[in-house]
Protein backbone atom coordinates (compact mmCIF):
# COMPACT_ATOMS: atom_id res chain seq x y z
CA UNK A 1 0.00 0.00 0.00
CA UNK A 2 1.26 3.46 -0.86
CA UNK A 3 2.09 5.60 2.16
CA UNK A 4 1.70 9.33 2.58
CA UNK A 5 4.61 10.07 4.90
CA UNK A 6 8.01 11.50 4.04
CA UNK A 7 11.25 9.61 4.08
CA UNK A 8 14.69 11.23 4.08
CA UNK A 9 17.06 9.50 1.70
CA UNK A 10 19.83 9.72 4.25
CA UNK A 11 17.79 7.39 6.45
CA UNK A 12 17.41 4.51 4.01
CA UNK A 13 19.08 1.21 4.94
CA UNK A 14 22.08 0.14 2.90
CA UNK A 15 21.23 -3.44 1.85
CA UNK A 16 23.87 -5.80 0.47
CA UNK A 17 26.43 -5.12 -2.23
CA UNK A 18 25.67 -7.14 -5.34
CA UNK A 19 28.04 -5.73 -7.94
CA UNK A 20 31.80 -5.66 -8.36
CA UNK A 21 31.84 -2.16 -9.87
CA UNK A 22 33.66 0.30 -7.63
CA UNK A 23 31.98 3.55 -6.60
CA UNK A 24 32.50 6.23 -3.94
CA UNK A 25 31.76 4.99 -0.45
CA UNK A 26 30.62 8.43 0.66
CA UNK A 27 29.17 11.49 -1.01
CA UNK A 28 31.85 13.93 -2.13
CA UNK A 29 31.49 16.65 -4.71
CA UNK A 30 34.27 17.57 -7.12
CA UNK A 31 35.64 20.02 -4.58
CA UNK A 32 35.87 17.37 -1.86
CA UNK A 33 33.04 18.75 0.31
CA UNK A 34 30.38 16.33 1.53
CA UNK A 35 27.12 16.67 -0.36
CA UNK A 36 23.97 17.57 1.54
CA UNK A 37 20.62 16.05 0.71
CA UNK A 38 18.15 18.17 -1.21
CA UNK A 39 15.57 17.09 1.33
CA UNK A 40 13.10 14.33 2.10
CA UNK A 41 11.10 12.69 -0.68
CA UNK A 42 7.45 11.67 -0.26
CA UNK A 43 7.14 7.95 0.29
CA UNK A 44 4.66 7.57 -2.57
CA UNK A 45 7.21 9.09 -4.99
CA UNK A 46 9.80 6.52 -3.92
CA UNK A 47 7.20 3.80 -4.33
CA UNK A 48 6.41 4.96 -7.86
CA UNK A 49 10.09 4.95 -8.83
CA UNK A 50 10.57 1.43 -7.49
CA UNK A 51 7.32 0.40 -9.20
CA UNK A 52 8.61 1.84 -12.50
CA UNK A 53 11.57 -0.55 -12.37
CA UNK A 54 9.26 -3.49 -11.70
CA UNK A 55 6.88 -2.42 -14.48
CA UNK A 56 9.74 -2.29 -16.97
CA UNK A 57 10.75 -5.81 -15.94
CA UNK A 58 7.17 -7.08 -16.24
CA UNK A 59 6.86 -5.54 -19.71
CA UNK A 60 10.07 -7.20 -20.96
CA UNK A 61 12.04 -3.97 -21.31
CA UNK A 62 14.62 -4.84 -18.63
CA UNK A 63 15.70 -8.09 -17.03
CA UNK A 64 18.49 -8.38 -14.46
CA UNK A 65 20.01 -5.22 -15.93
CA UNK A 66 18.78 -1.73 -16.77
CA UNK A 67 17.63 1.19 -14.65
CA UNK A 68 15.17 4.05 -14.33
CA UNK A 69 15.67 7.44 -12.66
CA UNK A 70 13.77 10.62 -11.93
CA UNK A 71 14.70 14.11 -10.83
CA UNK A 72 14.40 14.92 -7.17
CA UNK A 73 10.95 16.53 -6.82
CA UNK A 74 12.37 19.42 -4.77
CA UNK A 75 15.65 20.02 -6.59
CA UNK A 76 16.34 19.92 -10.35
CA UNK A 77 20.08 19.47 -9.73
CA UNK A 78 19.56 16.10 -8.03
CA UNK A 79 18.12 12.80 -9.19
CA UNK A 80 16.88 9.59 -7.60
CA UNK A 81 18.01 6.07 -8.50
CA UNK A 82 18.01 2.66 -6.87
CA UNK A 83 21.17 1.08 -5.55
CA UNK A 84 22.61 -1.53 -7.92
CA UNK A 85 19.91 -4.17 -7.90
CA UNK A 86 17.88 -6.10 -10.49
CA UNK A 87 14.88 -3.94 -11.46
CA UNK A 88 12.24 -6.49 -10.45
CA UNK A 89 13.68 -6.60 -6.92
CA UNK A 90 13.79 -2.87 -6.22
CA UNK A 91 11.86 -1.31 -3.35
CA UNK A 92 11.46 2.26 -2.06
CA UNK A 93 14.15 1.68 0.54
CA UNK A 94 16.71 1.04 -2.21
CA UNK A 95 16.43 4.56 -3.66
CA UNK A 96 19.48 6.82 -3.41
CA UNK A 97 20.03 10.51 -4.17
CA UNK A 98 22.70 11.79 -6.61
CA UNK A 99 23.93 15.11 -7.89
CA UNK A 100 24.07 15.63 -11.67
CA UNK A 101 27.70 14.47 -11.77
CA UNK A 102 26.34 11.21 -10.32
CA UNK A 103 27.99 11.52 -6.93
CA UNK A 104 25.83 9.72 -4.35
CA UNK A 105 24.52 11.56 -1.31
CA UNK A 106 25.23 9.63 1.88
CA UNK A 107 25.83 6.30 0.14
CA UNK A 108 26.29 4.41 3.44
CA UNK A 109 28.12 1.60 1.70
CA UNK A 110 25.41 1.02 -0.92
CA UNK A 111 26.65 0.20 -4.41
CA UNK A 112 25.43 2.61 -7.12
CA UNK A 113 24.85 1.48 -10.68
CA UNK A 114 28.01 1.72 -12.76
CA UNK A 115 26.21 3.46 -15.65
CA UNK A 116 24.47 6.11 -13.57
CA UNK A 117 26.37 8.73 -15.60
CA UNK A 118 23.86 8.18 -18.42
CA UNK A 119 21.18 9.69 -16.26
CA UNK A 120 23.08 12.53 -14.62
CA UNK A 121 24.35 13.91 -17.92
CA UNK A 122 20.97 13.68 -19.67
CA UNK A 123 19.36 15.52 -16.76
CA UNK A 124 22.12 18.14 -16.95
CA UNK A 125 21.72 18.64 -20.72
CA UNK A 126 17.92 18.42 -20.88
CA UNK A 127 15.98 20.53 -18.35
CA UNK A 128 12.75 19.33 -19.99
CA UNK A 129 13.53 15.72 -19.01
CA UNK A 130 12.47 14.55 -15.56
CA UNK A 131 12.89 10.78 -15.94
CA UNK A 132 15.20 8.46 -17.89
CA UNK A 133 15.12 4.73 -18.65
CA UNK A 134 18.16 2.78 -19.80
CA UNK A 135 17.46 -0.70 -21.11
CA UNK A 136 18.74 -3.50 -23.32
CA UNK A 137 15.33 -4.45 -24.72
CA UNK A 138 16.04 -7.14 -27.32
CA UNK A 139 13.89 -5.98 -30.23
CA UNK A 140 15.47 -2.52 -30.15
CA UNK A 141 19.15 -3.52 -30.26
CA UNK A 142 19.21 -4.54 -33.98
CA UNK A 143 18.38 -0.98 -35.05
CA UNK A 144 21.55 0.27 -33.41
CA UNK A 145 23.59 -2.35 -35.27
CA UNK A 146 22.31 -2.27 -38.82
CA UNK A 147 21.81 1.36 -39.73
CA UNK A 148 18.13 0.72 -40.40
CA UNK A 149 16.29 3.72 -38.88
CA UNK A 150 13.81 2.99 -36.14
CA UNK A 151 10.46 4.49 -37.08
CA UNK A 152 7.15 5.15 -35.35
CA UNK A 153 5.03 2.17 -36.34
CA UNK A 154 1.84 3.23 -34.61
CA UNK A 155 0.33 6.06 -32.56
CA UNK A 156 1.57 4.84 -29.18
CA UNK A 157 5.13 5.07 -30.52
CA UNK A 158 4.56 8.56 -31.98
CA UNK A 159 7.59 9.94 -30.09
CA UNK A 160 9.85 7.89 -32.41
CA UNK A 161 8.76 9.94 -35.43
CA UNK A 162 11.20 12.62 -34.26
CA UNK A 163 14.02 10.13 -34.84
CA UNK A 164 16.15 7.86 -32.67
CA UNK A 165 19.84 8.73 -33.17
CA UNK A 166 22.51 6.11 -32.58
CA UNK A 167 25.24 6.61 -29.98
CA UNK A 168 28.41 4.92 -31.24
CA UNK A 169 30.71 4.94 -28.26
CA UNK A 170 33.75 3.94 -30.33
CA UNK A 171 33.63 7.10 -32.43
CA UNK A 172 34.99 9.21 -29.57
CA UNK A 173 36.35 6.68 -27.09
CA UNK A 174 37.74 3.87 -29.28
CA UNK A 175 37.40 0.26 -28.12
CA UNK A 176 35.60 0.08 -24.76
CA UNK A 177 33.59 -2.39 -22.70
CA UNK A 178 30.53 -0.62 -24.21
CA UNK A 179 29.43 0.73 -20.81
CA UNK A 180 28.90 4.44 -20.10
CA UNK A 181 31.12 4.46 -17.06
CA UNK A 182 32.02 8.12 -16.57
CA UNK A 183 30.69 11.63 -17.04
CA UNK A 184 32.53 12.26 -20.31
CA UNK A 185 30.81 9.27 -21.90
CA UNK A 186 27.50 10.38 -20.43
CA UNK A 187 27.96 13.85 -21.91
CA UNK A 188 28.56 12.39 -25.36
CA UNK A 189 25.47 10.20 -25.12
CA UNK A 190 23.42 13.24 -24.08
CA UNK A 191 24.84 15.18 -27.02
CA UNK A 192 23.82 12.44 -29.46
CA UNK A 193 20.35 12.24 -27.88
CA UNK A 194 19.94 15.95 -28.53
CA UNK A 195 16.28 16.91 -28.45
CA UNK A 196 15.05 13.38 -29.26
CA UNK A 197 13.06 11.25 -26.83
CA UNK A 198 15.01 8.05 -27.54
CA UNK A 199 18.61 7.27 -28.45
CA UNK A 200 19.96 3.88 -29.48
CA UNK A 201 23.32 2.64 -28.20
CA UNK A 202 25.24 0.48 -30.66
CA UNK A 203 25.71 -3.10 -29.46
CA UNK A 204 24.29 -2.14 -26.09
CA UNK A 205 20.71 -0.88 -25.75
CA UNK A 206 18.88 2.43 -25.62
CA UNK A 207 17.71 5.32 -23.49
CA UNK A 208 14.20 6.76 -23.35
CA UNK A 209 13.27 9.94 -21.54
CA UNK A 210 10.20 11.94 -20.71
CA UNK A 211 8.81 14.93 -18.82
CA UNK A 212 7.46 12.57 -16.14
CA UNK A 213 8.35 9.17 -14.75
CA UNK A 214 5.14 7.77 -16.20
CA UNK A 215 5.91 9.04 -19.70
CA UNK A 216 9.52 7.80 -19.65
CA UNK A 217 8.24 4.32 -18.78
CA UNK A 218 5.53 4.59 -21.47
CA UNK A 219 8.16 5.50 -24.08
CA UNK A 220 10.55 2.73 -23.05
CA UNK A 221 7.77 0.13 -23.28
CA UNK A 222 6.43 1.33 -26.61
CA UNK A 223 9.90 1.65 -28.11
CA UNK A 224 10.23 -2.10 -27.61
CA UNK A 225 6.71 -2.74 -28.95
CA UNK A 226 7.27 -0.55 -32.01
CA UNK A 227 10.56 -2.32 -32.73
CA UNK A 228 8.74 -5.67 -32.78
CA UNK A 229 6.07 -4.29 -35.08
CA UNK A 230 8.69 -2.85 -37.42
CA UNK A 231 10.40 -6.23 -37.64
CA UNK A 232 7.06 -7.84 -38.52
CA UNK A 233 6.30 -5.14 -41.10
CA UNK A 234 9.66 -5.70 -42.79
CA UNK A 235 8.63 -9.28 -43.51
CA UNK A 236 5.84 -7.88 -45.68
CA UNK A 237 8.27 -5.78 -47.71
CA UNK A 238 8.81 -2.09 -48.32
CA UNK A 239 7.60 0.60 -48.21
CA UNK A 240 6.36 0.87 -44.65
CA UNK A 241 3.77 3.59 -44.06
CA UNK A 242 5.05 4.66 -40.63
CA UNK A 243 4.02 7.90 -38.95
CA UNK A 244 5.40 11.08 -40.45
CA UNK A 245 7.13 13.60 -38.21
CA UNK A 246 4.03 15.83 -38.30
CA UNK A 247 1.76 12.90 -37.41
CA UNK A 248 4.15 12.01 -34.61
CA UNK A 249 3.86 15.47 -33.06
CA UNK A 250 0.06 15.32 -33.12
CA UNK A 251 -0.20 11.76 -31.82
CA UNK A 252 2.38 12.28 -29.09
CA UNK A 253 0.40 15.25 -27.76
CA UNK A 254 -2.50 12.85 -27.20
CA UNK A 255 -0.21 10.29 -25.54
CA UNK A 256 1.10 12.90 -23.13
CA UNK A 257 -2.47 13.42 -21.94
CA UNK A 258 -3.74 9.84 -21.98
CA UNK A 259 -0.61 7.77 -21.38
CA UNK A 260 -1.37 7.65 -17.67
CA UNK A 261 -4.03 5.05 -18.49
CA UNK A 262 -1.29 2.53 -19.26
CA UNK A 263 0.65 3.56 -16.15
CA UNK A 264 -2.41 3.04 -13.96
CA UNK A 265 -2.85 -0.48 -15.36
CA UNK A 266 0.80 -1.41 -15.00
CA UNK A 267 1.15 0.24 -11.58
CA UNK A 268 -1.81 -1.64 -10.11
CA UNK A 269 -0.22 -4.97 -11.05
CA UNK A 270 3.01 -4.13 -9.16
CA UNK A 271 3.05 -4.91 -5.46
CA UNK A 272 5.65 -4.32 -2.78
pLDDT digits (tens, 9 = 90+) for 12-43: 333 322 233 333 334 444 445 679 999 999 99
Question: Which CATH number does the domain housing residue 135 bear?
Answer: 3.40.225.10
The answer to whether residue 3 scores a pLDDT higher than 70 is no
Picking from 38, 95, 117, the residue whose alpha carbon sits closest to that of residue 213 is 95
Taking only the tens place, the pLDDT of each residue in 139-198 is 999 999 999 999 999 999 999 999 999 999 999 999 999 999 999 999 999 999 999 999
Domain contains 242: yes
Is 203 among the domain residues?
yes
**How far apart are the C-alpha atoms of 38 and 74, rounded to whole Å?**
7
119-136: pLDDT as tens digits? 999 999 999 999 999 999
The domain containing residue 114 runs over which residues?
33-269
> Looking at the domain assignment, is residue 25 inside a domain?
no
Strand partners, 170: none
For residue 215, tell me if it sits in a domain. Answer: yes
Domain-embedded: residue 19: no
Determine, yes or no, domain membership for 13: no
The total number of structural domains in the chain stands at: 1
Q: Which residues belong to the active site?
A: 115
Residue 239 lies in a domain: yes
77: in domain: yes
- Would you state the pLDDT for residue 106? 86
Amino acid sequence: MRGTGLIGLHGIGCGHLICGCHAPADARGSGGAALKSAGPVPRDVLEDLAAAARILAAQGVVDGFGHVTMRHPASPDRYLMSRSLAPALQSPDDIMEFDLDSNPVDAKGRQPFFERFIHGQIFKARPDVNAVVHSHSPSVIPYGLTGLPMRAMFHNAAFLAAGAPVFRIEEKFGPTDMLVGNNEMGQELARVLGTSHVALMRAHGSVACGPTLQMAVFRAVYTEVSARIQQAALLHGQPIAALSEAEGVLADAVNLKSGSRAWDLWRRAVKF
